[in-house]
Chain A
């Protein structure tokens, strides 16, 4: 999958890093600008993204076509998840669910 077409099946988010995944999750319910993203991710996952990390991840996601920048509102650029971005996030979350279910099952079987 090239990342831009958003075909289901392959997990393109596996290698983009946690910050990028958290940004996509935060954008899943609507467009947000940088400050709102930092606040939302702090609330959602307890992770405080540094502004440098945030812009690095936003650039990467935009290059991959997973998010897009909307026209500036004052000096702030809101970002929106694209259709390929939503598809990629869905695939990634399903993959995480499978791994997490397998992990829980093995813990049960192991009796730990």
Chain B
């Protein structure tokens, strides 16, 4: 592997670290990699070591990161509660319609209309049609 490709590979691995780590160690780590490459250490092995280090760095819990995670979780929970709270009023009329059906007058109940004389009711037909094709009276 030529030098520029090796350097690029290591630099890409270093980009996987969190920004805070890169600010602290980035330049030094690049310099160390250059020295190790000069000594003949394979670029792949250096890049792999940095990748493993970056993974550990992301997975290690930090006090600040824990606080941010907690804040995010709180925000998501609050958001979902607000969303479901907003949905409740919008679903209320539909539920009210469903629950009030048995109490309403017979012509407002869902289901097939009373078959007229000589009409055979369809078995298993869609009930909603009966609701919409009532007597045309407001319920």
Measuring CB to CB, which residues of chain A are less than 8 angstroms from any residue of chain B?
33-35, 38, 50-56, 59, 72, 75-77
Most chain A CB atoms below 10 A, which of B31, B46, B53: B53
Contacts of B49 in A (CB 8 A): 50-53
CA distance A77 to B31 in the complex (A): 11
B56/A51 in contact, CB under 8 A:
no
Confirm or deny: B78 has a beta carbon within 8 angstroms of a beta carbon on chain A. Answer: no
A53/B27 in contact, CB under 8 A:
no
Interface string of B30-72 (1 = CB under 8 A from A): 0111011000000001101111111011000000000000000
Measuring CB to CB, which residues of chain B are less than 8 angstroms from any residue of chain A?
21, 25, 27-29, 31-33, 35-36, 45-46, 48-54, 56-57
CA distance A50 to B45 in the complex (A): 8
How many Å from the CB of A40 to the closest CB on chain B? 14
Please classify the interface of chain A as helix (H, G, I), strand (E, B), loop, or mixed, using the class held by over half of its residues. helix
- Chain A residue nearest to B55 (CB atoms) is A52
Contacts of B48 in A (CB 8 A): 50, 52
Contacts of A38 in B (CB 8 A): 32, 36
The contact sample of 20 A-B pairs, CB cut-off 8 A, is: A33-B28, A34-B29, A35-B31, A38-B36, A50-B52, A51-B32, A51-B33, A51-B49, A51-B50, A51-B53, A52-B48, A52-B51, A52-B53, A52-B54, A52-B56, A54-B32, A55-B25, A55-B53, A75-B31, A76-B32
Known: A50-B45, A75-B27. A56 touches B53 (CB 8 A): yes
A51/B46 in contact, CB under 8 A:
yes
- Chain A residue nearest to B50 (CB atoms) is A52
Contacts of A75 in B (CB 8 A): 27-28, 31
CA distance A53 to B49 in the complex (A): 7
Contacts of A53 in B (CB 8 A): 49, 52-53
A34/B53 in contact, CB under 8 A:
no
How many Å from the CB of B95 to the closest CB on chain A? 55
How many Å from the CB of B55 to the closest CB on chain A? 9
Known: A35-B36, A38-B36, A50-B52. A55 touches B45 (CB 8 A): no
